[in-house]
Structure 1
């Protein structure tokens, strides 16, 4: 009985499990996103739903499957595992073999205690969950007397899921991204700058089920293209968490100068942000977007006071979502490091928001004053001109090219 179990990966569902009668729609979306994430993997793969768990397998390397699955939003845990026959002898044999391997591969001090935790989904199995725990635990103690049982803080937690026809045995649990499957809440357009904030906001929007496209406003022709390169790199990193969304780049420099010539003065930054959301609203609606997402954090900078945020919202034709509204800067930076965007955001660039910015920004921009500035321009014509020369690209699409798994 030396045949090893077949490697697979157990993916535990998060909020999808709570969706009642609509659960199947969320699960289908979750599996669709998983298939996209698996494109380009060397070797064949398969996906099998089992109640509130998805089993992922195939002849592709397990570690690569684990890495891809951990970037799919909607799974709470990712567990490398093996598939074995649903008999007590097979379960016991493979549990002992797994602990022996772990002992031999690690320092003795790392594996000194264990616990067995069983979930019996097949109610026809002769022992209930606690009965399997006791039986397998006792056989392990007989075979490996140097190990102790620790139910609260074991060095190794053997998880046994008994299903009809096969059992899954795992001993390593990795955190997933949780949240709702990307796309289950609709589509949004993220105003993506080159800083820390907007990429983190985009990631949190994705975790609430929003599929995200991106728009970046550059300072061209009065600024170099460094911010565009950063936006592309950030969108590419963010697209690793979702079926790739498009990045659209709009050169804002000439419009910013028109606002300045129109006498915006201390209102310049708020006026150009109003122009951004006005333009983004048209762009999003044209592409099926239902909301805008920004990286604003209340009071973080002068343009993000409550009055100024309200003034910006008034110009938007779609809801403006601000996932980071209550976050402080260090929390945002820490999260950027976690999701992999911090190393890009720290790179130098020429941010369009600094172009023509006044020495002092109004902390309480008033709508009548903003309207007076905007009346000196033909906003509809200005927005149409901005959209006419939009650059469109899909960062990361080349990495998921090919047939679905």
Structure 2
């Protein structure tokens, strides 16, 4: 069996004892569910400062992948336990486990020990460092940024060697912060916004307004399924699709050119509100950023927000587009967005950058709202697990 030590994200540990316990328990439950799907013999044991994961050797790569993509995990290490009686025996174990990795690379030894052992951690570090240098394998000692960190925890009679190290997503355990409904289009922005809320511990449902027909929806469904499967699969969510062609047609016919951009986004929020309530989501999520387009000035964003009484979360509100694309690349959604055609439902020749509330009210007074109500009634709700069958 392989063993991993998993560290909680530090922000979870700063909470009160009851909140910390809840967050750490939730992470343990989430990992247990995900790892049981990898192999039925995977086990998760929770401690106050860490989690222990054990798994069969044959699935250690799959377990590594789960640990690196599960919200709430800060870092993790694969552990090799060895018995020891003296420092020379300890040095032999270190050479066995790290020798190949040390060749031509810098290293640094870090030791933690339990109380009662007859030497200090620093003494062990210096002894092991000298022994490893004598082999001629490593290039040098680097205690600041070693290429190979040699990390050991010593107890009476047993040494834990941290032989492989992985970085987790950070954030909060999924499900600890409630649920939200993310408006997705298949582009860079909405995917990174959705990832941000998943990472922060929010169970994230997906809402798609269909402006481009069946091909567009299929592409967005694959995109959403990838995000959920990779980062949020511990919790089932819904993919909701709303047919919006009739609403767009009414906007083009009834709304003044300069107000179309703000108006359609208000329609998105108006339609999203009853859907979010049905899914018990107190917040909506969008990929909007200040100044990205004319409808995303501060004045216009405020005008858009008054269309709903739900909280509107904008994780990217001050992020540069280049940074968003880099993050989409890092989380694996850029390839989907690169292939996604741009669907612009309404394009104003002279869009307003400061919507006047009275003018906006006048536009809405003349709008046939029954088309929006009809669109919401025709919305389809699909469990995200069923989207995998389409991929």
**What TM-score do the two structures reach when normalised by structure 1?**
0.86
The within-5 A match list for 1:147-226 is 147=138, 148-162=140-154, 167-219=159-211, 223-226=212-215
Alignment of 1:395 onto 2:384: yes
Structure 1 pair 145–377 and aligned structure 2 pair: CA distance change class (3 A): closer
> Which sits farther off after the overlay, 89-98 or 233-242?
89-98
Contact 1:73 1:176 in 2 (8 A): yes
TM-superposition CA deviations, 1:169-207 (whole Å, max 9, x none): 113323221111222221111011121101111111222
* Distance of 1:31 and 1:88 partners within structure 2: 36
Structure 1 pair 54–39 and aligned structure 2 pair: CA distance change class (3 A): same
* Distance of 2:48 and 2:124 partners within structure 1: 20
Report the counterpart of residue 252 of structure 1 in structure 2.
244
* Distance of 2:107 and 2:221 partners within structure 1: 47
TM-superposition CA deviations, 1:353-386 (whole Å, max 9, x none): x22433332222222222222222453x444322
Could you list the structure 1 runs, at least 4 aligned residues long, displaced by more than 6 angstroms after superposition: 397-400
- What displacement does 1:82 show? 1.8
Structure 1 pair 344–364 and aligned structure 2 pair: CA distance change class (3 A): same
Report the counterpart of residue 403 of structure 1 in structure 2.
none
* Distance of 1:311 and 1:136 partners within structure 2: 65
Report the counterpart of residue 4 of structure 2 in structure 1.
9
Does the residue aligned with 1:172 lie in a helix, a strand or coil? strand
Contact 1:37 1:72 in 2 (8 A): no
Contact 2:8 2:50 in 1 (8 A): yes
TM-superposition CA deviations, 1:81-130 (whole Å, max 9, x none): 32334755664442121123435xxxx43x3x43211223x334444433
* Distance of 1:280 and 1:215 partners within structure 2: 8
Contact 2:25 2:46 in 1 (8 A): no
Structure 1 pair 165–52 and aligned structure 2 pair: CA distance change class (3 A): farther
* Distance of 1:39 and 1:254 partners within structure 2: 45
- What displacement does 1:338 show? 0.4
- What displacement does 1:391 show? 1.7
* Distance of 1:136 and 1:399 partners within structure 2: 50
Structure 1 pair 68–146 and aligned structure 2 pair: CA distance change class (3 A): closer
The within-5 A match list for 1:318-329 is 318-329=310-321
- What displacement does 1:26 show? 0.6
Contact 1:189 1:291 in 2 (8 A): yes
* Distance of 2:78 and 2:216 partners within structure 1: 40
The within-5 A match list for 1:358-373 is 358-373=348-363
- What displacement does 1:314 show? 0.5
Report the counterpart of residue 3 of structure 1 in structure 2.
none
* Distance of 1:198 and 1:369 partners within structure 2: 29
- What displacement does 1:141 show? 4.8
> Residue 37 of structure 1: which of 28, 34, 37 is its match?
34
**Unpaired segments of 5 or more residues in structure 1?**
1-5, 401-405
Structure 1 pair 211–86 and aligned structure 2 pair: CA distance change class (3 A): farther
The within-5 A match list for 1:74-89 is 74-85=72-83, 88=86
- What displacement does 1:278 show? 1.2
Structure 1 pair 398–281 and aligned structure 2 pair: CA distance change class (3 A): closer
- What displacement does 1:164 show? 7.8
Aligned Cα root-mean-square deviation (Å): 2.5
- What displacement does 1:47 show? 1.2
* Distance of 2:247 and 2:120 partners within structure 1: 70
Contact 1:118 1:159 in 2 (8 A): yes
Report the counterpart of residue 101 of structure 2 in structure 1.
102
- What displacement does 1:274 show? 0.4
Structure 1 pair 253–211 and aligned structure 2 pair: CA distance change class (3 A): same
The within-5 A match list for 1:282-321 is 282-321=274-313
Structure 1 pair 64–270 and aligned structure 2 pair: CA distance change class (3 A): same
Contact 2:187 2:340 in 1 (8 A): no
> Which sits farther off after the overlay, 126-135 or 176-185?
126-135
Alignment of 1:47 onto 2:65: no
- What displacement does 1:132 show? 3.4
Paired residues, what number?
381
* Distance of 1:74 and 1:9 partners within structure 2: 15
Does the residue aligned with 1:40 lie in a helix, a strand or coil? helix
- What displacement does 1:165 show? 8.2
